Amino acid sequence: MILRADLHTHSYFSDGQLSPTDLVTAAHAAAITHFALTDHDTLAGLPEARRQAEHLGLRLIDGVELSTQWTRATTKRAVSVHIVGLGMTDSAPLEAVLDVQKDIRARRAEAICEKLEKITKKPAWEAVLALAGGRAEGITRGHIAQWMVDAGIVSKMQQAFDRYLGEGKSAHVPLEWLPMADGVKAILASGGQAVLAHPTRNNLTSTALRHLLIDFKAAGGRAIELPAMNEPPATRGMINRLVKEHEFYVSTASDYHGAHMVWNKLGQVPSLAEGQVGVWELLG
C-alpha cells in the first residue's frame, strides 16, 4: 500500500463544508492512508470523524489548527501563525487553551461583523452565524468572506480579504491570539506534535521565516508542512533547504475546506524529497 498522508483538513466544525463523516469518506475514496482532521481551534469534530474512520478502516490522527501570534524579537511586530497539532493523546491541556481561543474567535467575529454592518449597511451577523452552523466560536474570516460573496458585496472570497478583511483593511480586527510558543507547548503537553502550517503563506520575508523557524523549534516544534502543489518550485526549494538546515520532520497537507476553494483538493499533496522524514514517523 502506498502511503498518502493528508494531515491538514477542515470540516464544518470550522470553515470546511463537509461533515466529519463525509470528509473521512471522501478521504478514503481519495486513497488517503493517514488522515488528520484539523479544524480551527476546536476538537469538536473528532469523535464523529473517529467513528467513520473506524468504520472504513482509515488511519485517523487527531488534529487541530491553532491560531497563534508570533512576535519577532527584533521588530516587536506580531504576525499571525497557524500551528497544526497532531496525535494528541490527552486533550485536557489543549482544551484549556481552546476555551480561551473560542471566546476570542467569537468576540472577534462579532467585532468584524459590526464594522461590516456599518460599512455595507447590510445585516451581517445572523447570516454569518448561520454559515458557521450556529457556532459563534467557530466563525472564521472564511465564513465572513463567504457571506460577502452571497450578499453581493464582493464577487470572490479573495476580494473580501483584499478589500475588507485583510490586515490594515477597513473591517480588520487586530490579532489577539495566544503566543505561538504557548500554542506549541499546549500541543506537546497533550502528547501531540506541533507542525508549522503553510510556512510560506504568512507573508514573511525569508529572513523573518528563518527567525520564526528558530523560535518555533526552541518552543518544541519539530515539523513543518511542505508547500502545497500549486506553489512555485522556488518556494519548495527554499523550504527544502530550511527543512535540512533545521532538521525538521515534514508534513504533507492539502488544507482542504471543500469544493468552493477550488485550489485545494483533498489528498493532493506533495511528495517528500530525498532525506525528508514524515511527521507520521513521530506519531505512535
Q: CA angle, 274 as apex, 204 and 278 as ends, to 5°?
A: 70
155 binds ligand AMP (CB under 6 A): no
The option from ligand AMP, Mn ion, none interacting with 209 (CB < 5 to 8 A, set by class) reads none
35 binds ligand AMP (CB under 6 A): no
Burial 262-279 (b: 16+ CB within 10 A, else e): eebbbbbbbebeeebebb
The option from Mn ion, ligand AMP, none interacting with 145 (CB < 5 to 8 A, set by class) reads ligand AMP
x/- contact string, 87-126, with ligand AMP (CB under 6 A)? ----------------------------------------
6 binds Mn ion (CB under 5 A): no
Closest approach of ligand AMP to the CB of residue 161, in Å: 4
Among 157, 186, 224, 226, which residue sits at the site for ligand AMP (rule: CB under 6 A)?
157
Closest approach of ligand AMP to the CB of residue 260, in Å: 9
Q: Which residue has the cell 530550511?
A: 242
Q: Among residues 145 and 279, whose Cβ is nearest to ligand AMP?
A: 145
Among 113, 145, 194, 266, which residue sits at the site for ligand AMP (rule: CB under 6 A)?
145
Sign of CA dihedral 62, 89, 284, 218: positive
Q: Among residues 81 and 269, whose Cβ is nearest to ligand AMP?
A: 81
Subset of 220-279 contacting ligand AMP (CB under 6 A): 257
Work out whether strand 78-86 and strand 59-71 pair parallel, antiparallel, or are unpaired: antiparallel
* C-alpha–C-alpha distance, residues 99 and 97, integer Å: 5
Q: Among residues 200 and 240, whose Cβ is nearest to ligand AMP?
A: 200
62 binds Mn ion (CB under 5 A): no
251 beta partners: 225
Q: Which residue has the cell 516587536?
A: 76
Candidates 85-93, 140-148, 183-191, 220-228 — which segment interacts with ligand AMP by CB under 6 A? 140-148
Q: Among residues 10 and 28, whose Cβ is nearest to ligand AMP?
A: 10
Q: What is the CA radius of gyration of the chain?
A: 18
3-state secondary structure 12-74: CCCCCCCCHHHHHHHHHHCCCCEEEECCECCCCCHHHHHHHHHHHCCEEEEEEEEEEEEECCC
Q: Would you tell me which residues interact with ligand AMP (CB under 6 A)? A: 15, 40, 67, 140-142, 145, 157-158, 161, 257
